Structure 1
Amino acid sequence: MAVSNTTTAAKDPTDMSTAILIRVDQTGKGDFGKIQDAIDSVPSNNSELVFISIKPGTYREKIVVPADKPFITLSGTKSSDTIITWNDSGEIFASPTLSVLASDFVGRYITIQNTYGTSGKAVALRVSGDRAAFYSCKILSYQDTLLDDVGKHYFNNCIEGAIDFIFGNAASLYEKCHLHSLSERDGAITAQHRVSSAENTGFTFLGCNITGVGASFLGRPWGASSRVVFTYCHMSSAIIPQGWNDWGDETKQRSVYYGEYKCYGPGANRSKRVGWSRSLTSDEAAQFLTKDMIGGKNWLRDPPIHFKRASGALVSLNSDENE
């Protein structure tokens, strides 16, 4: 059962600088050897920050953060040595390696990958909870890599790589991310699913680097009012000169919102862009240049600086000794 915003708000942690510490270590030196076991140990509707520290290793798990367990952080040491991996395909809501259904989730310094291959949809990460943030994470698969489903989300310094790989109907800001397409021909970076201009959803890319091995469009409309904006982004020659694709439905050309603002690089040349995309003015771009679109000032939080056990005993993040 999903936790309503009212219920979650009533149980927000009062101390945002202190978190309950749970350690995951495959060598047996932590509280748990599996990440899912650590998540399962968190009580439903918990009202404190929970910081799950994951020691380096490759964790072959299919993980779900349930909707009734908000305020969880999964943190590795660096994405190159803290890897969550699975290999599943099929229905987009069933195949993800990591499914985040809870609100107020944070992921840090981890790789999330689906190694199924190139023959079908294989989601690495599904984000369906509100107020989720990811920092310095790698999100890797081939087709339909990141299901940026619903809610307000923030991705900072993350790397995603695949074909048609960021899709869904969230309101998300991608800041200083590296988007690398594995498509050899006619792939798409985004497939945003906004169905009405009344919805305040869409994907914004700010200061990102876009590269690829072949040729990709910036986006194609999963929803009739699909909204995607690229601002201050470097675009390599992997971007197809037309820039955007209507996915075989010309009627969507009148209702999508596809914008670019002060992007640069060989793929940013707008001389051959489709006429129904937009070169934004400074006034039009202003709303996409801050975290205001996702209300980030109200919910993005710094990492905790104090840690304790569930018993209340203070501990150090880097030691099992009590402080």
Structure 2
Amino acid sequence: MACFCVIFFFLLGSCALTNATDTETAILIVVDQSGMGDFQKIQDAIDAVPSNNSQLFYIQVNPGIYKEKILVPADKPFITLGGTNADNTIISWNDSSDIFQSPTFTVLASDFLGRQITIQNSYGSGAKAVALRVSGDRVRFSGCRILSHQDTLLDDTGRHYYTNCYIEGDVDFIFGNAASLYERCHLHSLSKENGAITAQSRGSAEEDTGFVFLGCKITGVNSGTALLGRPWGPYARVVFAYTYMSSVILPQGWDDWGDSSKQETTYLGQYRCYGPGAKTGRRVPWSHTLTAQEAEPFMSKDLIDGKTWIRSAPTKFRRFSYPNPAKIGGR
């Protein structure tokens, strides 16, 4: 087993909480399919946010099933998009093209917050069908449901924080090369045989990226049908800590994806996990069962520099005023 020091994991440069001038007050835009809001489509509301904005915008999405393919472009930071309940606020699309073209919802912007929404790719099994792609920095999802089968969540690049989210899929359904903390999330495997929950793609020892699952829960439809992960990149880094693992997890835990050289460079392991799938006695010998000292760098938001940028949803609102009323959709 390769000797590895984790003390430098996620040593990312500090940044200001946000460049927005006011982090409590947001301009409110309401999306309502019945025409009672400012727009009937979510994408129209996002398009209405000025480019290179420095003020928070809150897009309130009223209950409904929104059949849309959504893009939050890189020049529109500081957007919060929130529903009232993820069970009744659903964004759904059906696409099985490649991982960058198929996502139902793509975030390229920084300082984005998604709350209480369901993001779904309804294509089904048997092909790459991404529900959510996150390629912006300082992005948070809270209380969301992210649903597909293969490649559900492309956790691509940047620093990300997922809390109290439900993520469902069967093959490599959390994948990419972001620096991400998943806290109190529920991961549900739909795999029937040898599916993988994670496929992390860190490509070199110099990259401060990886996935940490802290206080999460893993369930599945069938016992002994899911791996904790396999390394997409040669230096893949994934840690599960204080996580309940049901019997869905295969005893070996991890797979080297047919490349034994990755056994020397990856860092895949667990710390104080519990449940029938958490037993380490039959894990692959190149995985890690962390000591308290080894686990310490993974136990807080410091690993994504979170204290400098993770923010709550705004609490004060001003209604959006339109320079041209003819641009208002759904009226």
The two structures have a TM-score, normalised by structure 2, of 0.90
1:152-163 superposed matches below 5 A: 152-163=159-170
The answer as to whether partners of 2:80 and 2:313 remain within 8 angstroms in 1 is: no
Among 189, 206, 209, the alignment partner of 1:181 is 189
Q: Matches of 2:83 and 2:30 in 1, distance apart?
A: 10
Quote the residue 1:203 is aligned against: 211
Q: Matches of 2:304 and 2:22 in 1, distance apart?
A: 23
Displacement after TM superposition at 1:213 (Å): 1.3
Does the residue aligned with 1:27 lie in a helix, a strand or coil?
Answer: coil
Does the residue aligned with 1:84 lie in a helix, a strand or coil?
Answer: strand
Identity %: 64
1:69 aligns with 2:51: no
1:139 aligns with 2:113: no
Quote the residue 1:84 is aligned against: 91
Q: Matches of 1:302 and 1:34 in 2, distance apart?
A: 25
Quote the residue 2:295 is aligned against: 285
Does the residue aligned with 2:161 lie in a helix, a strand or coil?
Answer: strand
Among 269, 277, 284, the alignment partner of 1:259 is 269
Does the residue aligned with 1:40 lie in a helix, a strand or coil?
Answer: helix
The answer as to whether partners of 2:18 and 2:309 remain within 8 angstroms in 1 is: no
Report which structure shows greater RCO (CA 8 Å, sep ≥6). Answer: 2
Quote the residue 2:241 is aligned against: 231
The answer as to whether partners of 1:11 and 1:47 remain within 8 angstroms in 2 is: no
- Per-residue Cα deviation, 1:236-287 (whole angstroms, up to 9, x for no partner): 0000000000000000000000120000000000000000000101111001
Residues 1:296 and 1:11: Cα distance change in structure 2 (over 3 Å)? closer
Q: Matches of 2:43 and 2:55 in 1, distance apart?
A: 19
The answer as to whether partners of 1:244 and 1:274 remain within 8 angstroms in 2 is: yes
Quote the residue 1:116 is aligned against: 123
Among 249, 259, 279, the alignment partner of 1:249 is 259
Displacement after TM superposition at 1:146 (Å): 0.1
Q: Matches of 1:287 and 1:275 in 2, distance apart?
A: 23
Q: Matches of 1:286 and 1:100 in 2, distance apart?
A: 30
Q: Matches of 2:296 and 2:174 in 1, distance apart?
A: 23
Q: Matches of 1:99 and 1:42 in 2, distance apart?
A: 16
Displacement after TM superposition at 1:10 (Å): 12
Unpaired runs of 5+ residues, structure 2, are: 1-14, 323-331
What do you get for the CA RMSD once the two structures are aligned? 1.4
- Per-residue Cα deviation, 1:65-87 (whole angstroms, up to 9, x for no partner): 00000001110001000000000
1:96-115 superposed matches below 5 A: 96-115=103-122
The answer as to whether partners of 2:17 and 2:308 remain within 8 angstroms in 1 is: no
Displacement after TM superposition at 1:310 (Å): 3.5
Aligned AA (1:206)? L
Displacement after TM superposition at 1:9 (Å): 7.1
The answer as to whether partners of 2:30 and 2:39 remain within 8 angstroms in 1 is: yes
Quote the residue 2:180 is aligned against: 172
Unpaired runs of 5+ residues, structure 1, are: 1-7, 313-323
1:292-307 superposed matches below 5 A: 292-307=302-317
Q: Matches of 2:66 and 2:315 in 1, distance apart?
A: 26
Q: Matches of 2:216 and 2:80 in 1, distance apart?
A: 24
Aligned residue pairs total: 305
Does the residue aligned with 1:297 lie in a helix, a strand or coil?
Answer: helix
Does the residue aligned with 2:277 lie in a helix, a strand or coil?
Answer: helix
Aligned AA (2:215)? G
Does the residue aligned with 1:38 lie in a helix, a strand or coil?
Answer: helix
Displacement after TM superposition at 1:226 (Å): 0.2
Displacement after TM superposition at 1:198 (Å): 1.3
Among 50, 56, 79, the alignment partner of 2:63 is 56
Q: Matches of 1:46 and 1:120 in 2, distance apart?
A: 37
Does the residue aligned with 1:26 lie in a helix, a strand or coil?
Answer: coil
The answer as to whether partners of 1:182 and 1:212 remain within 8 angstroms in 2 is: yes
